[in-house]
Structure 1
Amino acid sequence: MTKPFEPRKKLPRFGCTLRLAAALVPCSQIVSAQTVDGERLYQQRCASCHSLEDSGRGAGPTLAGVFGRPAGSVEGARYSHALEEADLVWDAETLDAFLADPREVVPGTMMAVRITDPAQRQAIVSFLEAHGSGGEDP
C-alpha cells in the first residue's frame, strides 16, 4: 500500500534571521572589525615601506599624521619630483584614489603598489585615519 502524499515541511529560512542579526550588531563592532581588517591589510600591503611612527624610516615616508598633510612634504623622505610637485593634500578621497592607482593620480611617482579592491582601500584609509596620527605603532 502506498502512503498518501505529504508535502515536505519547509526548512526555516535563515536569510531573514541573518539580516536581523546583522542589524542588531552594534556599529562599534562593525567598525572594530573594519579597523582590525585595516590593520591587517596595512601590515600586509604598506608596513614594509611605511611606518606609523613620527621618526619612522623606510623606503617610503612615514604615514604618521598623513591626514591633512600635503603630498611630498615629510622632511628627509625620498620623493619623486612628481610627488613633490603634486598639488595634493592627503584625505580619505585622495588616499583612496592614490592607493587605487598611484601612477595615474601622480604620473612619475615611485609608489608602485596598487590596491584595486575598494573595500580593502577603505579599510586601510580608515585604519590610517584612526591610527596614523603619529607616534603609534599598530
Structure 2
Amino acid sequence: MRNAVLAAVALVALSWATHESVAQEADAAAGERLFRQRCGACHQIATTRNGARPHLQGMVGRAAGSIEGFNYSPALRDSGITWTADTLESYLTNPTAMVPGTRMVQRFNNAVERRTIIELLSSR
C-alpha cells in the first residue's frame, strides 16, 4: 500500500512538472510569435544584426541608445535610461511620452502583450 501511495505521489509530481514545462514552452512560443508580429519588421532578437531599428538582444540591463553602429535619435541616446522591466513597461506603453523625440512610435496598449514582450526581451 505504501509503495502504491509513493508511486501515485511521484506520478502527480511528474505530471505537474511536465505541465509546467509545456506551459513555459507555450509562453515562450507565444512571446516569439507576438514579437515577430509586432516588433519583427523593425527589430531583430535572434541576432545582433541591426535592421531598420537596433537589435534587441541583451537589451535588459543595457543603456538606451548604446548599440554601436546604430543611429539613434538624440532624445533616446541622451535619455539616461537603463532598460529594465519597469522602464520597458513605461516605454512600450507610450514611447513618445517617456522620451519625447524618440523615433519609436509603436505602442502596446495591451498590458498582457507588454508583459509578454518584456519577458521575451528579458530572456535574451
TM-score norm. by structure 1 comes to 0.72
1:83 partnered with 2:37: no
- Taking only aligned residues, the RMSD between alpha carbons, in angstroms, comes to 1.5
Q: Give percent identity, aligned residues only.
A: 39
1:126 partnered with 2:96: no
1:66 is matched with 59
1:49 is matched with 42
Write 1 or 2 for the structure with the bigger share of helix: 2
- Structure with higher Rg: it is 1
Q: For 1:104 and 1:31, how far apart are their aligned partners in 2?
A: 33
Find the residue that maps to 1:27 and give its secondary structure: helix
Q: For 2:26 and 2:90, how far apart are their aligned partners in 1?
A: 23
Aligned residues: 107
Where structure 1 has 5 or more consecutive residues not aligned to the other structure, the ranges are 1-23, 133-138
Q: For 2:98 and 2:22, how far apart are their aligned partners in 1?
A: 34
Q: 1:125: how far off?
A: 1.1
1:26 partnered with 2:6: no
Higher relative contact order (CA 8 A, sep 6+): 1
